[in-house]
Structure formats: C-alpha cells, structure tokens
Amino acid sequence: MKVKVMVKHDGYGQFPTFKKGTAVTIKEEDAHFLNWYACEIEGRQTWVPKTFFLGGALTRNYNPTELIQQEGDILEVKEIVYAWLIAADSEGITGWIPAEAVISLMPL
C-alpha cells in the first residue's frame, strides 16, 4: 500500500536493529500512542510496541529508527503496528512513521 506524507516528520536518532531475544526494560505506556512503551534496549532509550516484547525480551528483530520525511513524499507501507507504520521511502530506506502523518493513496 502506498501513502503520501501530509505532515513533515523529523523522527529522532538512528538505531541499530536489535535481535529477537534482546533484553528490553519496559517503562511507562505512551499517553498518546496506546500500546507503545518507553523502554531501554542495550542502553538506548526508545519506544517499543506491546506486541514486540514479552517477559522482558524482544519477540522479533526490531529497529526503532523513524523515517525523516517531507510533506508530499510517497512511502510504501510494509507493516502497520498500532498507530504507526513501518514504511520504505523512494530510496529504499525503511523506518517508522506515525499513521496520523500520512494519507492512503489507495482508491476506495
């Protein structure tokens, strides 16, 4: 599915891909994005969706890097996780962007 960025998204920081089974310290749930939790993974502060951890460990490989996108950019959605998308830009760079920042280009 293709989407168009309607609101510029700056993201924050680049992260490595953390491997399935990596320890994750869960903190509080985000007040705006339900089922997303502040956490620490290998000494880095970030966010993780509820379905990506269980019993203090990641249940799958996870890279929390957000895409840096401008209004009008077109993205290819790879996965939808709660209110966020894992998407690839025109250069093939993959990362997260909030669903509220995009609009679907699929016809109804």
Residue 99 lies in a domain: yes
Q: What is the pLDDT of residue 12?
A: 82
Residue 19 lies in a domain: no
**Per residue in 53-101, pLDDT tens?**
999 999 999 999 999 999 999 999 999 999 999 999 999 999 999 999 9
Q: What is the domain extent for residue 83? A: 2-12+65-104
Least trusted range by pLDDT, from 10-14, 23-27, 35-39, 73-77: 10-14
Average pLDDT estimate for 34-55: 97
Domains in the chain: how many in total?
Answer: 2
Q: What is the pLDDT of residue 107?
A: 67
Residues 72 and 97 in one domain: yes
pLDDT band at 11 (very low <50, low <70, confident <90, very high): confident
Residue 38 lies in a domain: yes
Which residues are 36's β-sheet partners?
49
- Strand, helix or coil for residue 1: coil
Torsion from C-alpha of 9, 46, 83, 27, nearest 10 degrees: -150
